[in-house]
Structure 1
Amino acid sequence: MGAPLAVELDRSSPVPLYFQLAQTIENAIIGGELAPGDRFENELALAKRLNLSRPTTRRAIQELVDKGLLVRKRGVGTQVVQSAVHRPVELTSLFDDLARAGQSPTTKLLDYQVAVPAEDVAAELNLQPGSEVASIRRLRSTNGEPLALMTNHIPVDLAPDPDELEAHGLYHALRARGVHIRLARQRIGAKAASKAEASLLDEKTGAPLLTMNRTAFDDSGSAVEFGSHCYRASRYYFDTTVVDR
């Protein structure tokens, strides 16, 4: 464990001290000051250092345990765990979002096939009968932990080579081919993990997964990609802003 976390508490504020402490620790985790695997300061030592009661300190830590940011381990103490991936609902690539956030994304190509697609896929991509697509299935991980299973269907004349898909994100490969994705239609939902999905994502069978289906269009309005993704709900969430009309 490194130097103790710097904490400033405003004792004149109406905001409870436990909440101020929890927010400071959470911001340090999200900002990377406390990294996954770091051991956190002993509860008693922290209370003494900050001149707080032990129940106040315990409540702050429990808030973060409940959020999945800290974990208590017998014989080890309290440790920082992998923080959830926060992703705004925007037209961006998951690979690019993770890279910008310093999350060290990696990709494992699970399947790559070229064939005439099922009717629903052909309809999403507005393809002529008999047209072929490249159907790609990948496992996306961040900081060494599995995060998402992604299946994408791309018209065969636009499809990247298999080796490109492990080095870069799909949208990066499409941009390299001169494809500019202008807009997308997407649907966000949820499902229970199948046995195969749970095994790949390091979850229990039946664990909740977030789902997203997206059809992306280029500058000319042509559909260039249809994707069906599922994400670990314990590690991932979408963020939206809503306004009053």
Structure 2
Amino acid sequence: MSTSPAWDPVRGIAVDPASPEPLYFQVARQLQAAIDDGRLPAGSRLANELDLAAGLRLSRPTVRQAIQSLVNQGLLVRKRGVGTQVVRTKVARPLRLSSLFDDLAGLGETPSSEVLINRVEPADAELAALLEAPGLQRVRRLKRIRCTGGEPLAIMNNCLPDGVLDVDDAELRSQGLYQLLRQTGIRLHSAQQSIGARLATEEDAELLDETPGAALLTMQRTTYDETGRVVEYGWHVYRASRYSFNLPLTHGPQ
């Protein structure tokens, strides 16, 4: 682990007192850009606030506010006896019909999965309704911890109508669910998705290496194939400190 960044914030950050952007925001924005593009890799240690403030010719409260804003986003962490360090950058996932496994691989990450549940079990009325299959008798239930770089990122729960996918744990560890579905010949067409937030339970905290009460993002998704059949219903939780969704917006009609 490096103890000093290759990119020097004092030399790399330029602040403009005449700009309408607050000074702390200018510093935070440029620090975040350096983290995002790898100039400040995970493990890099920043100079202390006094040295940064002196080097940037800013007040210490301004530098402290900039650093705290990135701490709040989960990009920096303060450690007693060590100082301020860069932690792993967030996974920014685009909203599209794809699996987290595939998105992580596409971002150059190293996804892996721990399979907690993979079994066929009776379907109750609630699950039958969620899968839009009245009278459904059995479902395949999956529960996995998705990791990247050896670090837990999300708890993934999925239910599929029995017979849609016959899969073993080894396949679930090495591939994404949508990739496995496509390999069976299923053509995914669309999905309905909702995103929310909640606080981590004791179980969440243990599985995700978080503290109880930590912020989590939640997602529920119903996925349809090209015939309009529901092929899976998923409900997942993600570490808010390590994960975000990107939602593109377009200009609507006037």
Q: How big is each residue's C-alpha offset from its partner over 1:22-56, in whole Å with a ceiling of 9 and x where there is no partner?
A: 10101111223222222123333333443444443
Does the 8 Å CA contact 2:123/2:138 hold for their aligned counterparts?
Answer: yes
Q: CA deviation at 1:72?
A: 1.8
1:92-241 matches, cutoff 5 A: 92-127=98-133, 129=135, 131-159=137-165, 160-241=167-248
Q: How big is each residue's C-alpha offset from its partner over 1:205-239, in whole Å with a ceiling of 9 and x where there is no partner?
A: 34443222211001111111111112223333334
Opposite residue 168 of structure 2, the aligned amino acid is: D
Aligned-partner Cα distance in 1 for 2:76–2:217? 22
Match of 2:25 in 1: 19
Match of 1:36 among 29, 39, 42: 42
List alignment gaps of at least 5 residues for structure 2: none
In the comparison of the two structures, how many residue pairs are matched?
A: 245
Opposite residue 204 of structure 1, the aligned amino acid is: T
Aligned-partner Cα distance in 2 for 1:95–1:57? 37
Residues 1:127 and 1:56: Cα distance change in structure 2 (over 3 Å): closer
Q: CA deviation at 1:15?
A: 2.5
**Given the two structures, how large is their TM-score scaled by the length of structure 2?**
0.84
Residues 1:48 and 1:204: Cα distance change in structure 2 (over 3 Å): closer
**Given the two structures, how large is their TM-score scaled by the length of structure 1?**
0.87
List alignment gaps of at least 5 residues for structure 1: none
Q: CA deviation at 1:173?
A: 1.2
1:38-77 matches, cutoff 5 A: 38-77=44-83
Aligned-partner Cα distance in 1 for 2:153–2:186? 26
SS, match of residue 97 in structure 1: helix
Aligned-partner Cα distance in 2 for 1:50–1:166? 47
Aligned-partner Cα distance in 2 for 1:189–1:36? 28
Aligned-partner Cα distance in 2 for 1:72–1:83? 15
Does the 8 Å CA contact 2:73/2:241 hold for their aligned counterparts?
Answer: no
Which one is further off, 112-121 or 128-137? 128-137
SS, match of residue 129 in structure 1: coil
Q: CA deviation at 1:122?
A: 2.0
Match of 1:2 in 2: 5
Match of 2:96 among 77, 90, 97: 90
SS, match of residue 163 in structure 1: helix
Aligned-partner Cα distance in 2 for 1:167–1:104? 11
Report the RMSD for the aligned CA atoms in angstroms: 2.4
Q: CA deviation at 1:81?
A: 1.8
SS, match of residue 227 in structure 2: coil
